């Protein structure tokens, strides 16, 4: 057992423990900042585990030689705060970001105010604001949601990313997809049915003694859903250095932990894929989704985050 596993095994993730861990993370983050690596296109798959992506390599031509890095966070919030810092402001200013996770937007907008009053006594973040990016397209603010999970579908992120890649003069682009984050919607949408309990609230299902194998297969189906979209993206933007990675991993009951609690230095949360490939715009996809003028209200955004398990 590693040191990180020993720590998380002995310390339950209570608000006090989380606050202390976040305090350490905000002052001395452990991991690789993606801006310290070379890439033109960075594809972020939310909650994608290294072993999950590697297991699907036989199904996708572009999934080869999956390497890994150590993430700067065990949750989107922590990863965002530690990745988009003032120390990388120059590179951020040259980056277009197409983002499907409202938690990223909320973290960038809130800065140090994103934490609970208790956590703010320990943390000291140095995070930029959305305006620091060359282009910041918060897809979660306006895109239509699916009828089951209440969150945006990856097809809209692909559509927006292709448009941004062709029309925006930025040096690099980040495309942040929501799958394979729960709720697991892919099969229900394809079969036109409501979500099963292990799809809608998979970790509650597991805590109640549910079958881990069933949840894991739904998680992989969600990953396949987004990898199909990544294939479209890689065929419709130009990038000599394209990378597929994740903000953090996911836990399915290992040592009694589920999902991706913030501030936890668990190896299965922090080890994320780093898959290097290329992208060439063949023109096979033509963007058709028109971005509306309206933006979701804070109440609507909070509801969307609730679907994702955030409070």
Domain-by-domain residue ranges, the chain? 3-27+39-289+298-307
pLDDT at 298: 54
What confidence category does residue 149 fall into, taking pLDDT thresholds of 50, 70 and 90?
low
Contacts of 14 (CB under 8 A, 6+ apart): none
Give the Cα separation of 58 and 35 in Å (integer): 29
Distances (CA, A) of 216 to 19, 62, 107, 291: 30, 22, 29, 34
Average pLDDT, rounded, for the chain: 89
Share of the chain above pLDDT 90, in %: 72
Interval 40-64 mean pLDDT: 97
- pLDDT of 53 > 80? The answer is yes
What confidence category does residue 47 fall into, taking pLDDT thresholds of 50, 70 and 90?
very high
- The string of pLDDT tens digits covering residues 182-199 is 999 999 999 999 999 999
Residue 292 · residue 43 · CB < 8 Å: no
Interval 248-269 mean pLDDT: 92
What confidence category does residue 304 fall into, taking pLDDT thresholds of 50, 70 and 90?
low
Would you tell me the crossing angle of helices 102-110 and 76-83 to the nearest 10 degrees? Answer: 50
What confidence category does residue 2 fall into, taking pLDDT thresholds of 50, 70 and 90?
very low
Give the Cα separation of 72 and 80 in Å (integer): 8
What confidence category does residue 5 fall into, taking pLDDT thresholds of 50, 70 and 90?
very low
- The string of pLDDT tens digits covering residues 100-127 is 999 999 999 987 656 677 887 888 889 9
CATH architecture of the domain covering 3-27+39-289+298-307: 3-Layer(aba) Sandwich (3.40)
- pLDDT of 4 > 80? The answer is no
Interval 277-304 mean pLDDT: 77
């Amino acid at each position: 057992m590693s040191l990180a596993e020993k720590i998380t095994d002995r310390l339950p993730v209570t608000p006090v423990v989380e606050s202390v861990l976040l305090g350490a993370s905000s002052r001395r983050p452990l991991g690789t900042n993606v801006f310290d690596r070379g890439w033109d296109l960075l594809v972020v798959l939310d909650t994608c585990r290294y072993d999950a992506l590697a297991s699907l390599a036989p199904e996708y031509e572009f999934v080869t030689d999956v390497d890994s890095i150590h993430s700067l966070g065990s949750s989107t919030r922590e990863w965002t705060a530690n990745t988009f810092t003032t120390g990388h402001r120059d590179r951020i200013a040259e980056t277009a970001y197409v983002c499907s996770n409202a938690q990223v937007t909320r973290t960038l907008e809130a800065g140090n105010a994103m934490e609970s009053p208790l956590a703010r006594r320990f943390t000291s973040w140095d995070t930029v604001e959305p305006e620091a990016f060359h282009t910041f397209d918060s897809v979660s603010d306006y895109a239509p949601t699916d009828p089951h999970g209440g969150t945006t579908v990856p097809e809209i992120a692909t559509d927006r990313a292709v448009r941004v890649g062709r029309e925006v003069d930025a040096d690099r682009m980040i495309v942040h997809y929501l799958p394979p984050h729960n709720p697991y919607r892919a099969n229900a949408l394809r079969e036109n049915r409501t979500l099963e309990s292990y799809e809608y609230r998979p970790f509650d299902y597991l805590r109640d003694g549910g079958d881990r194998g069933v949840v894991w297969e739904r998680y992989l189906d969600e990953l396949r859903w987004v990898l199909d979209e990544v294939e479209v993206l890689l065929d419709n933007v130009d990038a000599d250095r394209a990378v597929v990675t994740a903000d953090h991993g996911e836990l399915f009951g290992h040592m009694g932990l589920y999902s991706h609690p913030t501030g936890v230095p668990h190896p299965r949360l922090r080890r994320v894929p780093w898959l290097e490939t290329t992208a060439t715009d063949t023109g096979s996809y033509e963007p058709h989704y028109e971005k509306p003028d309206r933006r979701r209200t804070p109440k609507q955004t909070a509801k969307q985050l609730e679907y994702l398990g955030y409070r």
